[in-house]
A and B are shown apart, each in its own frame.
Chain A
Amino acid sequence: MNSIYSGISCNLDHNVLTAALPLFKEGSIEALEWSFDALFNHKNIPSWFKELLQFYGNEGRLIGHGVYYSLFSGKMSPEQKEWLKHLESTSKQYNFDHISEHFGFMTGADFHKGAPLSVPYSSDALNVAKDRIARMSVACQKPVGLENLAFCYSIDEVEKHGRYLKDILSEINGFIILDLHNIYCQVKNFDIPFKDLIQLYPLEMVREIHISGGSWENSQSEADKKIRRDTHDEAVPEEVFEYLKLMINQLPNLKFVILEQLGTGLTTDKHRLDFRSDFKRMKKICASANSRNEASQNSFLPDKFIQSEIIYESDQLAKEQQILTGILEDSTSLNEAKKELENSMLSQSSWQIENWDHSMLETAYEITQKWKHGF
């Protein structure tokens, strides 16, 4: 029997750990997902947190989830090389079952400043992503995967996202993290039915699911339009639980289902109770699928851990990313950003800025402004 393990995203966060402590005491948490690159400004990690990670690692239930690698950056930065070294050493220290990262590139000149943005499908961008993910695979010597991004510039990108992930991951026999709240964002923001959207993903590649909550933002540029954002600060919406129920028996290689919530949304007893209630509900749905008989057929390991001696870089992509970042960070208004884009080299290019949804440009502008000073 192929079990599905229910877990939580668990970083060194007081509120998350406090909310989860009763679940740990009950022995309910079957897996931990840790953002191993999140402790960049820490010199000391409490010994009990290390012991917690070791415990789950020794049981084969610890999974690593990177945040800062910036898979699609056209030029390989010294910080990315350091990140890979850190991944290599951390993977030797903790027994991860797999490692994952995010689709997209991080805006910003510094490694921990910027926002994650999507990249249009092109052979050049694909080659960059394939090169970077192969380096991840070699560094950690574990199955490696990518999470679908919530943010897309246009409906065309939304529809291509599953294929894009597949084409990158085929390089290393990698897996997909299907973030159902990210899918929910796209369903709402682009008014596309879930059942149509999900069929565009290679479901046999899904090894992990994320569920989480988010928030609604009033569009400043389109009256009466609300934008769904993946802010991880609220309880899981009912529809996301419905998605989980729909998908749980359609994913033959699913191994982990993870509840993500930020500590900032867990400051009160009520919120912590809701978090535990969401976890128990999620676990119950997973348990209902655990009687299935499909044996996992994919280890998601490559035939060989291999990377090119020469780092693939794209000056063109790097330049385009630099221009986009500069416009989104430096413009004093959304309209100014739009005009700057129209007059830039991104116009009439593979970025297809002419097709960008206006509210998504607004979102890109806002998240870039928000994160440009760092995390």
Chain B
Amino acid sequence: MKLSKSLLYAMATGLMIAGSASSCSEDDVIVCPCEPEVCETDCQIEHDHLLKRTESNSHEWDCPACGMG
């Protein structure tokens, strides 16, 4: 299952850009449903309820899918 070099390069570049971005917009940020709109910088895209959850819960980013998450 070898990926092409061009695809691997595109992935690496895309991940590098996402990882080093100094700001993010709602369309650009890479997320999964378990890690909603959050980036490592200080942009405030719908973060408020997540921050509240962080204060009250030790598993704030757990997966919702399988139960007991």
| A contacts, CB < 8 Å to B | 11-14, 16-18, 21, 24-25, 27-30, 35, 38, 40-44, 46-49, 51-52, 55-56, 59, 61, 67, 102, 104, 112, 114-118, 147, 149-151, 179, 182, 185, 214-215, 217, 227-233, 260, 262-264, 363, 367, 370-371, 373-375
Contacts and interface: CB of A to CB of B under 8 A. Distances in A.
A295 B33 CA distance: 37
A147 B66 CA distance: 8
Contact of B30 (A13, A27, A59, A371): A13
A21 B10 contact: no
Interface string B30-41: 111111110000
Contacts of B49: 373-374
Contacts of A112: 33
B35 A233 contact: no
B11 interface: yes
Interface of B: 1-4, 7-8, 10-12, 14-15, 18-19, 26-28, 30-37, 49, 52-53, 57-69
Contact of B1 (A11, A29, A43): A29
A16 B11 CA distance: 12
A185 B69 CA distance: 11
Nearest to A147: B66
B69 A231 contact: yes
A67 B31 CA distance: 15
B27 to A, nearest CB: 5
A179 B65 CA distance: 12
A165 to B, nearest CB: 14
Nearest to B18: A14
B34 A264 contact: yes
B66 A17 contact: no
A374 B33 CA distance: 9
Contacts of B60: 370
Chain B binding surface, main DSSP class = loop
B27 A42 contact: yes
Given A48-B7, A230-B69, A263-B32, A21 B63 contact: no
A246 to B, nearest CB: 21
A117 B64 CA distance: 10
A52 B6 CA distance: 11
A374 B61 CA distance: 11
Contacts of B2: 27
B65 A102 contact: yes
Contacts of A233: 59, 61-62
A182 B66 contact: yes
A102 B11 CA distance: 30
A231 B15 contact: no
Given A14-B19, A29-B1, A231-B69, A51 B63 contact: no
A52 B2 CA distance: 11
Contacts of A215: 59
A162 B28 CA distance: 42
Nearest to B63: A232
B1 A61 contact: yes
Question: 4 closest Cβ contacts across the A-B interface?
Answer: A151-B67, A48-B10, A264-B61, A27-B2
A13 B61 CA distance: 13
19 contacts: A14-B15, A24-B11, A35-B65, A47-B10, A61-B1, A114-B64, A116-B65, A118-B67, A150-B69, A229-B69, A230-B66, A231-B59, A231-B62, A231-B63, A233-B59, A262-B35, A264-B61, A367-B69, A373-B49
